[in-house]
């Protein structure tokens, strides 16, 4: 219940920011073009707060936080006096109307740049995309990727972390192949081509790189003990630093994963450990301690195993200065725009399943999770959504900004506007298409969360 409330709150904040900036783009340019703005609303439905500005614009918050609007004086809707005709929207030149409508999506792209600029200024804690184990008989294995190699780029997308790798691979969905540039454990820079012709990817159950057989690097953990905590059950039982666990009870163990599982399941029990100590095998009985966890009471031993050292600078903070951060924010925004356009194209061609469409529940979950992970991760999620909102609004569907821009482009070429009858028919068709897409996204959400 607490998670649901947090997700809803995060969703409202996220959508409120995106809508406010989008509508402010329309509002700001409309005012600069001399158009009278009647209402600036974030949210739909009954106003839960409103205030009238000196210029006559009503600013308000609607009770339904699923969008917003800027209502301008328009002769097609309002009774406009002769004195105010020059400040009505429909009386403006096609160039001004085009600018006013285009300003909404552009504001979303500007917001993305600003958010990413702030994010890179604060610094993003991250890890290098170093390859761990490679699954046998996978696309990665076929391309001869090796453990310990660092991914430098995916095609032309720089890969400084796993999120960038994900972004690059998503761009390649539906393609026959993609090229990874890698730095091998020996320091050599090589290129490897992944054959994607038979690639099957389910975003609900796996990551893009995981579906290709690439696992995130995790240091190897051995069964030798590097540390025994003072006052722990292990110390009380006689285990010592340097001991190598070979058996627990009658069961032979070869990995730390096996040892951890047995310990977790043996809370409060006396367990017999067989260890190698100074090349001599010994048996030591230890009463496993107890510790509370999210899954109830689990066993606790109090030891730290020997682990493989991390690659140099494996964990780092991705951070830029004032001007370089702005440039990086603009570059990252452009990358997100390109990926968004490619994904929409692949949805239309069927290379990407419509099951990947996310609705408000998925967005709410993403907002809540990213906000819980930290402010910089929320900023990253906000930038991604802002770019997507801008791109979607530019689609040439009549009920969206892109549809209006399409009509204005035709008007500019023809020298006269598209007839109201044709526009009305197009609006109806566009409305049905947008409603169908929304219904599909919501049904995907229901399927994800119900099952």
Which of the following is catalytic: 23, 150, 335, 365?
23
Query: What is the rounded distance in angstroms from the CA atom of residue 303 to the CA atom of residue 227?
Result: 6
Closest CA to 265 of 230, 300, 231, 314: 300
Query: What is the rounded distance in angstroms from the CA atom of residue 321 to the CA atom of residue 434?
Result: 41
- The yes-or-no answer on residue 177 being catalytic is no
Q: What pairing do the DSSP bridges indicate for beta strands 150-154 and 221-228?
A: unpaired
SS (H, E, C) 109-121: HHHHHHHHHHHHH
* Number of helices (H), then strands (E), in the chain: 12, 18
Q: What sign has the CA pseudo-torsion 408, 409, 415, 418? A: negative
Strand partners for 163: none
Element (H or E) spanning 37, and its range?
strand 37-52
Query: What is the rounded distance in angstroms from the CA atom of residue 12 to the CA atom of residue 64?
Result: 10
CB 165 within 8 A of CB 151: yes
Query: What is the rounded distance in angstroms from the CA atom of residue 413 to the CA atom of residue 380?
Result: 40
CB 100 within 8 A of CB 32: no
Which residues form the catalytic set? 23
């Amino acid at each position: 219940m607490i998670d649901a409330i947090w997700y809803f709150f995060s969703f409202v904040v996220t959508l409120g920011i995106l809508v406010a900036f989008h509508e402010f783009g329309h509002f700001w340019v409309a005012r600069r073009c001399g158009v009278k703005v009647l209402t600036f609303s974030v949210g739909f439905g009954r106003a839960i707060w409103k205030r009238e500005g000196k210029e006559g614009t009503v600013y308000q918050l609607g009770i339904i936080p699923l969008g917003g609007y800027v209502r301008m004086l328009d002769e097609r809707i309002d009774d406009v006096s002769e004195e105010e005709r020059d400040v009505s929207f429909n009386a403006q030149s096609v160039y001004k109307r085009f600018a006013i409508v285009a300003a909404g999506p552009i504001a979303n792209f500007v917001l993305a740049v600003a958010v990413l600029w702030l994010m890179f200024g604060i610094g993003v804690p991250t890890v290098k995309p170093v390859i761990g184990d490679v699954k046998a008989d996978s696309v990665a294995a076929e391309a001869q990727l090796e453990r310990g190699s660092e991914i430098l780029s995916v095609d032309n997308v720089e890969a400084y972390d796993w999120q960038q790798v994900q972004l690059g691979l998503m761009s390649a969905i539906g393609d026959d192949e993609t090229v990874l540039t890698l730095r091998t454990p020996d320091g050599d820079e090589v290129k490897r081509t992944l054959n994607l012709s038979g690639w099957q990817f389910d975003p609900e159950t796996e990551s893009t790189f995981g579906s290709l057989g690439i696992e995130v690097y995790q240091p190897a953990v051995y069964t030798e003990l590097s540390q025994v905590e003072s006052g722990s059950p292990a110390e009380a039982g006689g285990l010592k630093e340097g001991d190598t666990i070979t058996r627990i009870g009658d069961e032979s163990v070869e990995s730390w994963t096996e040892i951890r599982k047995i310990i977790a399941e043996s809370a409060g029990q006396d367990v017999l450990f067989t260890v190698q100590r100074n090349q001599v095998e010994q048996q030591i009985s230890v009463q496993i301690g107890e510790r509370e966890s999210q899954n109830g009471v689990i066993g606790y031993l109090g030891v730290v195993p020997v682990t493989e050292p991390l690659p140099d600078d494996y964990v780092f903070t991705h951070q830029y200065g004032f001007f370089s951060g702005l440039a990086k924010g603009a570059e990252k925004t452009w990358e997100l725009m390109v990926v968004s356009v490619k994904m929409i194209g692949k949805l239309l061609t069927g290379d990407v399943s419509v099951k990947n469409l996310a609705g408000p529940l998925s967005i709410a979950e993403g907002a809540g999770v990213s906000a819980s992970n930290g402010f910089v991760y929320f900023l990253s999620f906000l930038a991604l959504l802002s770019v997507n909102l801008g791109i979607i609004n530019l689609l040439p569907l009549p009920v969206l900004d892109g549809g209006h821009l399409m009509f204005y482009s035709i008007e500019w070429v023809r020298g006269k506007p598209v007839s109201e009858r044709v526009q009305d028919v197009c609006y109806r068709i566009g409305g049905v298409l947008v409603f169908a897409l929304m219904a599909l996204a919501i049904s995907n959400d229901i399927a994800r969360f119900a099952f």
